[in-house]
Structure 1
Amino acid sequence: MSGPNDNYDPKQVAALSAESLDAIVADALAAFSAASSSAALKEARLAHAGEKSPIALANREIGALPPAARKDAGQRMGAARGRINAALAERQAAVEAAELEQALASEAVDVTLPVALAPQGAIHPITGLIDLMSDVFVAMGWEIAEGPEAEAEWLNFDALNISADHPARGESDTLFVASADGEGDSHVVMRTHTSPVQIRSLLDRELPVYVVCPGKVYRADEFDATHVPVFHQIEGLCVDKGITMAHLKGTLDHLAKEMFGDIRTRFRPNYFPFTEPSAEYDLECFVCHGASVGNPDAPCKTCRSEGWIEWGGCGVVNPRVLKAAGVDSSEYSGFAFGMGIERTLMFRNNAEDMRDMVEGDVRFARMLKGEAR
């Protein structure tokens, strides 16, 4: 039996020769250097450092060598694979850095631009319309006056010449506040109008007084399409020397023009305890413009074919009201008026259901956000 071939020279095996390994390494380095993207580098890695790459196939030849020859061949193979892996790692780092730089340049975010992190809200139409109507009076030199919503009964009724037996002072119309001990009458009500603010203004301010009083009021009303128990009013008071109904007409006509554009108005005689003479202030129907009056073929639901729509009440301040506030009615006179904010909003936008204004749906507010300046 012949012995082991101890004189075998592994350099004579072509796949394991130094020249072959150098060529394999050179091809791998060239492929890595030519790869300009992660995808291309991955293909080069599989072709030159994968399981079926030339360096892997050459490494399998070592197992067929005699033990004495494996050490020398293994050292050459280890050096070749080390060069390939080092070149691959260096090229991979360079490619990733280049791709990151390109991504940062192409996907840059301008942090100076506003970002909508949440759905955009809107000012409530009631709030916006209050501001809009208040601005009309501020531009004329009037002041904005405010007062408490839980009001003294005297200011809400007595000072306004509303007698104790007036229907408005019944529990069917007014919300009374219970006393602290739950017994007896607290003589405090949830204000039924913003007129008490007018009395407070006469008591707190020096004459003359030009104030407009927007705010929330309370009534014992049903909750339906045209009534809510909590709503908003805006009232105005002018007390000065020589004030007449003509000044009132000019003021309200200016407000109507600002709210509805060129529109006809009229005074219709009425009665209010706190003004004398008193009138309802009507607007020409902005739907039919009076064309439905006496015309059964073209009825108008908005004005019920009357041609006019009631907007609010007004009149010359009753001398008794001036006297209650300590104003000399022989020297001073004035006018007052008031209208509902919700009613004005409905007129301006042809809204049909007042309940939409209190349900808190932001879509309704966005639809009417033009009410806010």
Structure 2
Amino acid sequence: MSAPNKSYDPVEVEALKPEEIERMRDEALAAFAAAADLDQLQEAKTAHTGGTSPLALANREIGALPPQAKADAGKRVGMARGAVNKALAARQTELEAERDARVLVEEAVDVSLPHDRVPAGARHPLTTLSERIEDIFVAMGYAVAEGPEVESEWFNFDALNIGPDHPARGEQDTFFVDAASLGAPGDAQAGDDASGVVLRTHTSPVQIRSLIDREPPVYVICPGRVYRTDELDATHTPVFHQVELLAVDEGLTMADLKGTLDHMVQALFGGEGMKTRLRPNFFPFTEPSAEMDMVCYVCRGESVGNPDKPCRTCSSEGWIELGGCGMVNPKVLAACGVDPEKYSGFAFGFGIERMLMFRHHVEDMRDMVEGDVRFTRPFGMEI
């Protein structure tokens, strides 16, 4: 039996050439260095160290070499694979350190912050102002009265001496509720949508209900939401808030009304020198009637005729209009079953939005209804 032919020189294997092994190693090192994160590094690892990677396939070719060539080829491939694994481990350590440092910054928790990270809200300033006005009159002995916002025409108009032909009773000024929506099929079948029901246009119906439900003397303050067919703009809104006052007792006069108005503006705007004035006007439910003005709470009237001290708040007129007032019309008292020969009364009303604009220099009424917390939060949580 003859011995192995150790001098046999096979065709040289292309994958095991020194320059090829160096190329495979360099490509792997470049791929690891280019990996920007651990996910990319994992893809490069599979491509250059996995079972089908170039170096792994070259390692398999060693078995086809004669014994005298295997050692040299195995050494070259082993050194290349060792360099690749070392570079992989180094790059993985580097990327893991970068990830950990980034997580510490991005997920850092400031333990000195309050535990409650939810920002505090705020009560709407209209609610706060309405309650402050109530408090002023409750302290004077008045009661807070409320009534429905969907009201009958009798309470909203007739009982207040507002006749059928009055312009305020037209659809141009008033929201009417049709009969069908109230579940009145008889009216709907007759083709008559006039249900006699409206969205109240003022809080005066609460005064009527108070006079009917209570025995004189009656002292009530009536805040609430009212509705008009106005377009929403900087100074108007179809839904707004009013507050009205009613006092019915024996011997009440315009002097009592004037004193009540003076006390109110002093309590709301503070300081001495705050006073009111009355200008003759006409309202169906009061007689005599007046428009009430208060002295400008900014300039206190000093800007009138004084070009050196102009006042933007009152346009240098010295007075700011608040609303209407007057002595209760005897016809209103009679409609509620109150003897006008024995009792007299006074009433006044004004818009709370308008008062808020005065007190806090709010320029656009739309800010009050849009629900933006950036508007309500500066007013705080006053209770």
What amino acid is the match of 1:153? E
* Equivalent position of 1:193 in the other structure: 202
Matched, 1:176 2:179: no
Q: Give secondary structure in 2 for the equivalent of 1:126.
A: helix
Q: How does 1:1-373 map to 2 (within 5 A)?
A: 115-180=115-180, 181=185, 182=188, 183-184=191-192, 185-262=194-271, 263-295=274-306, 299-369=310-380, 372-373=382-383
Paired positions, count: 263
| Mapped contact 2:122–2:379 kept (Cα < 8 A) | no
| Mapped contact 2:266–2:275 kept (Cα < 8 A) | no
The TM-score normalised by the length of structure 2 is: 0.65
Q: Deviations over 1:209-248 (max 9, x none)?
A: 1110000000011111110010000001001111111111
Q: Give the deviation of 1:165 after TM superposition.
A: 1.1
Counterparts of 2:359 and 2:380, CA distance in 1: 12
Q: Give secondary structure in 2 for the equivalent of 1:258.
A: helix
* Equivalent position of 1:23 in the other structure: none
Q: Give the deviation of 1:117 after TM superposition.
A: 4.6
Moved more, 255-264 or 324-333: 255-264
Q: Give secondary structure in 1 for the equivalent of 2:288.
A: strand
Q: Give the deviation of 1:367 after TM superposition.
A: 1.1
Counterparts of 2:295 and 2:252, CA distance in 1: 26
| Mapped contact 2:151–2:199 kept (Cα < 8 A) | yes
Moved more, 289-298 or 217-226: 289-298
Q: Give secondary structure in 1 for the equivalent of 2:116.
A: coil
Q: Give the deviation of 1:160 after TM superposition.
A: 0.3
Q: Give the deviation of 1:163 after TM superposition.
A: 1.0
Q: Give the deviation of 1:190 after TM superposition.
A: 0.5
Structure 1 residues not aligned, in runs of 5+: 1-108
Q: Give secondary structure in 2 for the equivalent of 1:199.
A: helix
Using the aligned pairs only, state the percent identity. Answer: 67
Runs of 4+ displaced beyond 6 Å? none
Q: Give secondary structure in 2 for the equivalent of 1:288.
A: coil
Superposed CA RMSD in Å reads 2.1
Counterparts of 2:260 and 2:338, CA distance in 1: 22
Structure 2 residues not aligned, in runs of 5+: 1-110
Q: Give the deviation of 1:255 after TM superposition.
A: 1.1
What amino acid is the match of 2:200? R
The TM-score normalised by the length of structure 1 is: 0.67
Q: Give the deviation of 1:361 after TM superposition.
A: 1.1
Q: Deviations over 1:63-114 (max 9, x none)?
A: xxxxxxxxxxxxxxxxxxxxxxxxxxxxxxxxxxxxxxxxxxxxxx9xxxx8
What amino acid is the match of 1:270? N
Moved more, 178-187 or 120-129: 178-187
* Equivalent position of 2:73 in the other structure: none
| Mapped contact 2:126–2:356 kept (Cα < 8 A) | yes
What amino acid is the match of 2:379? L
What amino acid is the match of 2:289? S
Q: Give the deviation of 1:115 after TM superposition.
A: 4.3
Counterparts of 2:212 and 2:139, CA distance in 1: 24
Q: Give the deviation of 1:299 after TM superposition.
A: 4.6
Q: Deviations over 1:312-346 (max 9, x none)?
A: 11110000000000100000110011011111111
Q: Give the deviation of 1:304 after TM superposition.
A: 3.0
Q: Give the deviation of 1:297 after TM superposition.
A: 6.3
* Equivalent position of 1:100 in the other structure: none
Moved more, 277-286 or 295-304: 295-304
